[in-house]
Chain A
Amino acid sequence: MKGPNPGPKPPINPQSNMKYICLGNIDPSKFASFTDAERNAMMDSCFAYDDQLRANGHFQGGEALQPPDAAMTLRYANGRVVVTDGPFAETKEQLGGIMILEARDLNHAVELISKHPGVKFGPWEIRPAADLSEMMRESEARRQTGKR
């Protein structure tokens, strides 16, 4: 049943869908010994489920991440920004990707993610997106009037 992506489903009540961020940690040791065929099957099942989430209007964005050894870390110490390369893979589990998920409520988000084949490979975290719009409005107002 191939066809163009129908786009996100209209919610019954425009207010009804909530945003959750899924932090997809992965433990590479869990598939280190996979054969090519096994790895392909794993990726196929993950991408296929991502497609399902898209088709049903739940996938609102996401990115896979390159491994931590491609990362830069910025800290603030002694009055200035300190830049280092890394972190290198210190912990077993690393952040492998992030997904922005739209779901009816927290239990619905849990249901959707619990069926993702990627969950097998490392704990995944679901957190509701924080609504900072009120805070941003107040900040905007302060910046407009030039008050500190």
Chain B
Amino acid sequence: MSAPSTAEIRTQVDAVFRQESGRILATLIRLLGKFDVAEDAMHDAFSAALQRWPAEGIPANPRAWLISTARFKAIDAMRRRRRFAASQEDIADTLHGGQPGVAANASAGAGDDELPDDQLRLIFTCCHPLLAPDARAALTLREVCGLTTEEIARAFLTSAPTIAQRIVRAKAKIRDERIPYQVPSGAELPERIGAVLAVVYLLFNEGYSASSGPSLTRADLSAEAIRLGRVLLELLPEPEVIGLVALMLLQESRRTARVSAQGELVLLEQQDRSTWDHTLIREGIALVERALATRRFGPYTLQAAIAAVHAEAATPEATDWRQICALYAALLAMQPSPVIELNRAAAVAMSEGPAAGLALIDAIVARGELRDYHLAHSARADLLRRLGRQDEAHAAYEQALGLVKSDPEIRYLEKRLRELG
């Protein structure tokens, strides 16, 4: 019986890190009261695991071992800091159990090493309404998803210092405003869940379509968003959480079909449906049905339901457009928006003919809305083309081209223009 090699131990520690570091960090932030202290303690604990597990063996409960080791390391570190430079703040910390970083929730089981909702506390704290909106996404990606500052910067096509500054300010805000490290309750919860879901969906969309630049999708961010959604789903299965996860899975199922091998945009009606991921579709549909059954669903659920109707059609001709129109009407009643009206108009065009759809779009534009939205003009162009009004279609495609930024979308519109002749 040979002992596992150091390399094998390292592989296992890496696996534990990938799987458990999120939960461990969330618990340590509650126990130790400060983000940076918790981060250092966690990494110290994993280093200790690498040093000690080859000889001691992997513990039966790695997570508990790591949390316990992290606490000892944190206390060690605090003692060393006290000896080196007796800072009044530090001494107060150690004596009164940590306060200035993240305001502890007094009623939480302070003696418990791990509480199941620690991850939820962390997510809700990172998405707190008092934090700047662009800071919430960055902070969530770093503290909840474990991405580095540099990885986050690449994902958002911005510089590392820009992201670093957002995170520095957000942590300072949490400290200065004494934002409590807790899961909101009662009347607060729906709105706070909304803030969290908005961050998750923002992350998914950043990964799903780059707003400018050569590539249409950035897969890593979407994967993180889905992962985060699944964590939320397990901890807080509220209808809109279910709905958002369903929506992300259904959109994700079309990822490979959405972009051609040459990097060109492929419309839904032209996508090769055999490349759709039917495992994701089945899961997405099941979640939609679960959310709808609660009768307390919201906009994400309805958007997911629309995506599900598309996903269920084996061919574009088999699409149940009437159901989609009805779902859009319900969505509009809940969340009036010109973009949703535009999507509904496109569905009406499929269900009742291009003239009906065009009338709806023209009404939106006549109101002064969506004039700068390229999809409005390209939708008009498409309907005009189907009605045989070529010159007007040409003008509308030109208008859309003037507004669009991503290379694949530019190429797509230029292609439609060429096809018009």
* A contact set with B: CB distance below 8 Å: 1, 9-10, 12-13, 18, 45, 48-49, 51-52, 56, 104-108, 110-111, 117, 128
Answer whether A1 and B80 are a contact pair too, CB < 8 Å, given A12-B46, A107-B164. yes
Return chain B residues, CB-CB under 8 Å to A13: 14
**A12 & B14 in contact (Cβ 8 Å cutoff):** yes
| Given A12-B47, A18-B150, A45-B84, 9 more pairs with CB closer than 8 A | A9-B44, A13-B14, A48-B84, A49-B84, A104-B43, A105-B150, A107-B149, A108-B39, A111-B36
Return chain B residues, CB-CB under 8 Å to A105: 148-151
**A12 & B13 in contact (Cβ 8 Å cutoff):** yes
Cα distance A10–B265 when bound, in Å? 45
Return chain A residues, CB-CB under 8 Å to B151: 105
B163-183 residues with Cβ-Cβ distance < 8 A to A are 163-164, 167-168
Question: Which of A12, A52, A106 touches B80 (beta carbons < 8 Å)?
Answer: A52
Return chain B residues, CB-CB under 8 Å to A10: 47, 50-51
Q: How far is the CB of A59 from chain B (nearest CB, A)?
A: 14
With most chain B CB atoms within 10 A of its CB, the pick from A1, A9, A52, A107 is A107
Q: How far is the CB of A21 from chain B (nearest CB, A)?
A: 14
In the complex, the chain A residue whose C-beta lies closest to that of B150 is: A105
Cα distance A77–B72 when bound, in Å? 60
Check B318 for interface membership: any CB of A closer than 8 A. Answer: no
Bitwise, B141-171 to A at CB < 8 A (1) or not (0) is: 0100000111100000000110110011000
Cα distance A10–B14 when bound, in Å? 13
Answer whether A12 and B43 are a contact pair too, CB < 8 Å, given A45-B85, A52-B84. yes
Q: How far is the CB of A11 from chain B (nearest CB, A)?
A: 8
Q: How far is the CB of A1 from chain B (nearest CB, A)?
A: 7
**B142 & A107 in contact (Cβ 8 Å cutoff):** yes
**5 tightest CB-CB pairs across the interface, nearest first?**
A105-B148, A48-B84, A106-B149, A105-B149, A106-B164
Check B17 for interface membership: any CB of A closer than 8 A. Answer: yes
Cα distance A10–B48 when bound, in Å? 9
Q: List 22 A-B contacts (CB under 8 A).
A: A9-B47, A10-B47, A12-B13, A12-B46, A12-B47, A12-B50, A45-B85, A48-B85, A49-B84, A52-B81, A52-B84, A56-B40, A104-B43, A105-B150, A105-B151, A106-B163, A107-B142, A107-B167, A108-B149, A111-B36, A117-B85, A128-B160
Cα distance A48–B167 when bound, in Å? 28
Return chain B residues, CB-CB under 8 Å to A110: 164, 168
In the complex, the chain B residue whose C-beta lies closest to that of A41 is: B85
Cα distance A52–B85 when bound, in Å? 11
Cα distance A52–B39 when bound, in Å? 16
Q: How far is the CB of B82 from chain A (nearest CB, A)?
A: 11
Return chain B residues, CB-CB under 8 Å to A128: 150, 160
Return chain B residues, CB-CB under 8 Å to A56: 40
Cα distance A56–B51 when bound, in Å? 15
Return chain B residues, CB-CB under 8 Å to A51: 84
In the complex, the chain A residue whose C-beta lies closest to that of B21 is: A12
B19-47 residues with Cβ-Cβ distance < 8 A to A are 36, 39-40, 43-44, 46-47
Return chain A residues, CB-CB under 8 Å to B84: 45, 48-49, 51-52
In the complex, the chain B residue whose C-beta lies closest to that of A10 is: B50
In the complex, the chain B residue whose C-beta lies closest to that of A14 is: B10
Return chain A residues, CB-CB under 8 Å to B167: 107
Q: How far is the CB of A12 from chain B (nearest CB, A)?
A: 5
Cα distance A15–B93 when bound, in Å? 34
Cα distance A110–B171 when bound, in Å? 12
